[in-house]
């Protein structure tokens, strides 16, 4: 009887969870030890061992951003799950999968439809449970809010710098150059003379093409050389 009971218990033991791993680094984080592919793989292996799960395969995307779900490594991981080769996809952190709430929602829908779960080491998440699905949705929404808020703060700071006459980057507009300390835009006399000539010709009623020809005849050239085009002259007049 004891042997029969033991055999019965063995046959009803739950199967080991089969996990498909996914790792990613973006170009500017290749050298970051905490986010390197090797470090991520090690964390996935440790997670699988701790939870007595089988890490059946690990897919990677090196030097690709999370701006889109269209990535070779991620496509491979999702295809393996669709083929039934795993019960869940495991990442070190949710942002390895995506930084978009919309894309995260799409992944959750695909996981639900396919019968697999999304697991994250850092967030201790398992979307096989209702609580896990709720938490991952909230975290995704908070992350997107933080990115949008940071963008708003950056835009406000740039606007304040521009209002104060500080240089905010990019090519200076025609008629100006960057100051020696790199902080301000200062007038460029030679280009300023071209600006004034273009405006004077415009006030005289000349067309944009005629203004360009007149500037060329006077020996004036656009920044970088070449010929005056009507759109270039238009920007001069509007400056």
Positions marked catalytic: 26
Tokens for 219? 């020996």
Instruction: Give dist(CA 16, CA 38) in Å, integer.
Output: 25
Query: Residue 211 in contact with residue 234, Cβ under 8 Å?
Result: no
Instruction: Give dist(CA 148, CA 138) in Å, integer.
Output: 15
Give the DSSP per-residue string, 110-126.
Answer: HHHHHT-EEEETTTTEE
Instruction: Give dist(CA 96, CA 36) in Å, integer.
Output: 11
Q: Is the Cα torsion angle 78, 81, 83, 86 positive or negative in sign?
A: positive
Query: Residue 55 in contact with residue 45, Cβ under 8 Å?
Result: yes
């Amino acid at each position: 009887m004891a042997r029969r009971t033991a055999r019965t218990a063995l046959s009803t033991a739950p199967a080991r969870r089969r996990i498909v791993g996914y790792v990613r680094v973006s170009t500017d984080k290749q050298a970051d030890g905490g986010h390197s592919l090797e470090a991520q793989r090690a964390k996935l292996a440790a997670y699988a061992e701790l939870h007595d799960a089988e890490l059946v395969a690990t897919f990677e995307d090196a030097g690709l951003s999370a701006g889109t779900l269209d990535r070779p490594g991620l496509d491979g991981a999702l295809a393996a799950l669709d083929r039934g080769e795993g019960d869940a996809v495991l990442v070190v952190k949710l942002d390895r999968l995506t930084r978009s709430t919309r894309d995260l929602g799409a992944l959750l829908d695909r996981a639900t439809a396919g019968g697999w779960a999304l697991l994250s080491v850092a967030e201790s998440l398992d979307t096989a449970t209702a609580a896990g699905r709720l938490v991952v949705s909230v975290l995704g929404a908070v992350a997107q809010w933080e990115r949008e808020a940071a963008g708003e703060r950056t835009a406000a700071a740039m606007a304040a710098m521009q209002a104060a006459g500080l240089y905010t980057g990019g090519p200076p507009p025609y008629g100006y150059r960057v100051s020696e300390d790199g902080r301000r835009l200062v007038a460029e006399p030679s280009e300023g003379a071209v600006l004034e000539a273009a405006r004077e010709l415009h006030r005289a009623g000349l067309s944009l093409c005629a203004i360009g020809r007149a500037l060329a005849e006077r020996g004036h050239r656009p920044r970088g050389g070449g010929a005056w085009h009507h759109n270039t002259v238009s920007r001069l007049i509007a400056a």
